[in-house]
Amino acid sequence: MRIAGIVQESIVDGPGLRMTVFTQGCPHRCPGCHNPDSHDENGGQEMSVEEIIAQLDRSPLTCGLTLSGGDPMMQPEDCQRLAEAAHERGWDVWTYTGYTWETLWQEGNPERLALLRESDVLVDGPYMAAQSSYAAYFRGSTNQRLIDVKRSLAAGEVQILKRPSHLSHFSKPES
């Protein structure tokens, strides 16, 4: 798998202490992206999924895995394996993508849909610098959505997660 980097203990890529894997390769190339070095699919470094999984247990306080980028949907099978390993540890999984939920479903790529189903929260949509805001909770810009994947799959439509709590593990949105 090609990655741009790993942050072992992040507090900005979802709630709680998380391991964030920045995948390499992004077709969106959003102007103002905070991680432009991750765009080139040939950049970064090669790491095996097994090497990354071995890092999951390095911090005993970590409670989640975040797949960011680049765009994890460019390497969906490897990212799905990482998400499965995180779930085996009782962690939640957040996946950031420049694609929208609707685009992923319309596209129908089975590997991308499998990664989507293995995610707990999908942060979707391209970064838009004009909509950047500190109020964009765990998002780069306000057009991006925090989608509760399990609830959305059950409801058959997007269910927005608004202010996840460290303790609720995303069981219900705030009113």
Residues contacting residue 62 through CB under 8 Å, at least 6 positions apart: 8, 9, 16, 17, 18, 19, 56, 91
pLDDT per residue as tens digits for the range 111-164: 999 999 999 999 999 999 999 988 888 999 999 999 999 999 999 999 999 765
The pLDDT, as a whole number, for residue 163 is 66
pLDDT per residue as tens digits for the range 37-86: 888 899 999 999 999 999 998 988 999 999 999 999 999 999 999 999 99
The pLDDT, as a whole number, for residue 3 is 97
- Helix, strand, coil distribution of the chain in percent, nearest 5: 30, 20, 50
Cα separation, 146 vs 166, whole angstroms: 15
Average pLDDT of the residues in 21-30: 91
Q: Taking each helix axis from N to C terminus, what angle separates 76-88 and 110-118, rounded to the nearest 10 degrees? A: 20
Domains of the chain: 2-155 (3.20.20.70)
Cα separation, 170 vs 162, whole angstroms: 9
How many beta carbons lie within 10 A of that of residue 127, not counting itself? 21
